[in-house]
Amino acid sequence: LAKTTQPISMDSYEGQEVNITCSHNNIATNDYITWYQQFPSQGPRFIIQGYKTKVTNEVASLFIPADRKSSTLSLPRVSLSDTAVYYCLVGNPGNTPLVFGKGTRLSVIA
């Protein structure tokens, strides 16, 4: 099982770009990298998923280097509502179990 390591916490001012990096040195060939966002007392929700290179959607970008041993979630121009815990999950959806790391607590300051 690919183990992930993320910073425990990060602070940012509103309007800034935030980059959260996740290390996953033993990622397997068939593993995908998926990021989730969690607000207090709610279930996590999907943000973005990728396998290699760069993926972009309406809320974030995901950068994955060629060796795939790390990935970076990029949140453009954060707002106060982006204050949450962000989890990086590495695994093959067809090959459970899916084990979460400790996540990164992002605090956005006005």
Partner 1 sequence: DGGITQSPKYLFRKEGQNVTLSCEQNLNHDAMYWYRQDPGQGLRLIYYSQIVNDFQKGDIAEGYSVSREKKESFPLTVTSAQKNPTAFYLCASMGRGLNEKLFFGSGTQLSVL
User: Tokens for 21?
Assistant: 């990096």
How far apart, in Å, are the Cα atoms of 81 and each of 13, 14, 16, 56, 72?
A: 12, 10, 13, 20, 20
Q: C-beta of 42: minimal distance to partner 1 in Å?
A: 6
Q: How many chain residues interact with partner 1 (CB under 8 A)?
A: 26
Kindly write out the interface string for residues 19-58 of this chain, putting x where it contacts partner 1 by CB under 8 A and - elsewhere.
-----------x-x-x-x----xxxxxx--x-x-------
1: Cβ contacts below 8 Å, ≥ 6 apart: 91, 97, 99
Q: Other C-beta atoms within 10 Å of 109: how many?
A: 11
What is the closest distance, in whole angstroms, from the C-beta atom of residue 46 to partner 1 in the complex?
5
Residues in contact with partner 1, shown as a per-residue x/- string from 68 to 97 under the rule CB under 8 A: -----------------x-x-x--xxx-xx
Q: Extract the tokens encoding 11.
A: 């602070």
Q: For residue 90, what are the contacts with CB-CB under 8 A and spacing of at least 6?
A: 2, 4, 22, 24, 27, 31, 32, 33, 34
Q: Of the two residues 38 and 74, which places its CB atom closer to partner 1 in the complex?
A: 38
Would you count residue 100 as binding partner 1 (CB under 8 A)?
yes
User: Which positions lie near partner 1, rule CB under 8 A?
Assistant: 30, 32, 34, 36, 41-46, 49, 51, 85, 87, 89, 92-94, 96-103
